[in-house]
């Protein structure tokens, strides 16, 4: 079972190691300092989001970052999975699936109305994982972003 462990400041080293692996794999290498600064408030208990490790406490197999917003249309708090990562050596064992189901249970119990995520249009394996976990494209909607 991929139990989620809420990250605290003392988990920073384990989390940032995994975040660095994610950044390297997805072409964001060299951004470690900025990414570390962005996650620090979440480790300190910010109400804007949370970071979780999953797998063994001393040597986690993955992490996920969730942030929160509000939706009138969906009737309240919504969550966004900003990042999810599983170590390459243990992929394909259902760890991400278990982590996503555990996250959904916890957020549902906390009153969150919906969870969103972005997925690469050219990554059918990730799309299959997310569909298996209950995610579906929203008809008529396409994510648009304005960087500030």
Cα-to-chain-centroid distance, residue 77: 16
Cα angle 121, 101, 43; round to 5:
90
What average pLDDT does the structure give for the chain? 93
pLDDT at 67: 97
pLDDT tens figures, 71-97: 999 999 999 999 999 999 999 999 999
pLDDT at 66: 98
3-state secondary structure of 110: coil
Domains and CATH numbers, the chain: 4-132 (3.40.630.30)
DSSP, collapsed to helix, strand or coil, labels residue 67 as strand
């Amino acid at each position: 079972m991929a139990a989620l462990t809420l990250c605290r400041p003392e988990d920073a080293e384990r989390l940032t190691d995994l975040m660095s692996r994610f950044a390297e794999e997805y072409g964001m290498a060299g951004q470690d300092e900025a990414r570390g600064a962005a996650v620090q408030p979440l480790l300190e208990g910010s109400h804007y989001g949370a970071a979780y490790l999953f797998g063994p406490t001393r040597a986690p197999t993955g992490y996920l970052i969730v942030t929160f917003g509000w939706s009138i249309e969906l009737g309240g708090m919504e969550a966004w999975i900003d990042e999810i990562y599983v170590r390459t050596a243990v992929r394909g064992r259902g760890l991400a699936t278990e982590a996503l189901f555990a996250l959904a249970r916890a957020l549902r119990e906390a009153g969150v109305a919906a969870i969103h995520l972005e997925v690469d249009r050219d990554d059918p394996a990730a799309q299959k994982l997310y569909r298996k976990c209950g995610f579906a494209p929203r008809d008529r909607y396409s994510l648009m972003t304005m960087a500030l």
